Amino acid sequence: DVKVTQSSRYLVKRTGEKVFLECVQDMDHENMFWYRQDPGLGLRLIYFSYDVKMKEKGDIPEGYSVSREKKERFSLILESASTNQTSMYLCASSLRRLGAFFGQGTRLTVV
């Protein structure tokens, strides 16, 4: 089975902190994605990567950056956390244009 693992289930951070969300997949997938999920807004794509060291902006990249130094790991970085970044963050991976498999999610609260 595909396994996508996010480093934390719950995080509480202070406004202005730099936050790292880590994601690891074990199926050698080329594509990896970071989404945030908010009530009434559904899943929104922040960034994605289709290869090591490659990254592309999604629909809402502002305030975020990403890093993909190894194929299996995709990190989401909040440069200076703000309260409007309180959300559920979901990492996913996929093989080429097939369906994406998601991690369990990280619920981030910024206070």
Partner 1 sequence: GESVGLHLPTLSVQEGDNSIINCAYSNSASDYFIWYKQESGKGPQFIIDIRSNMDKRQGQRVTVLLNKTVKHLSLQIAATQPGDSAVYFCAENYGGSQGNLIFGKGTKLSVKP
Residues that bind partner 1 (CB under 8 A): 4, 31, 33, 40-43, 45, 48, 50, 56, 58, 90, 94-105
CB 24 within 8 A of CB 72: yes
- What is the closest distance, in whole angstroms, from the C-beta atom of residue 90 to partner 1 in the complex? 5
Three-class SS of residue 59? coil
- Residues 6 or more apart whose CB falls under 8 angstroms from that of 47 comprise 33, 34, 55, 56, 57, 58, 61, 64, 65, 66, 76
Q: How far apart are CA 51 and CA 34, in angstroms?
A: 14
Q: CB-wise, 41 or 52, nearer to partner 1?
A: 41
Q: CB-wise, 14 or 97, nearer to partner 1?
A: 97
Three-class SS of residue 8? coil
Q: CB-wise, 48 or 74, nearer to partner 1?
A: 48
- What is the closest distance, in whole angstroms, from the C-beta atom of residue 85 to partner 1 in the complex? 19
- What is the closest distance, in whole angstroms, from the C-beta atom of residue 101 to partner 1 in the complex? 6
Q: CB-wise, 10 or 14, nearer to partner 1?
A: 10
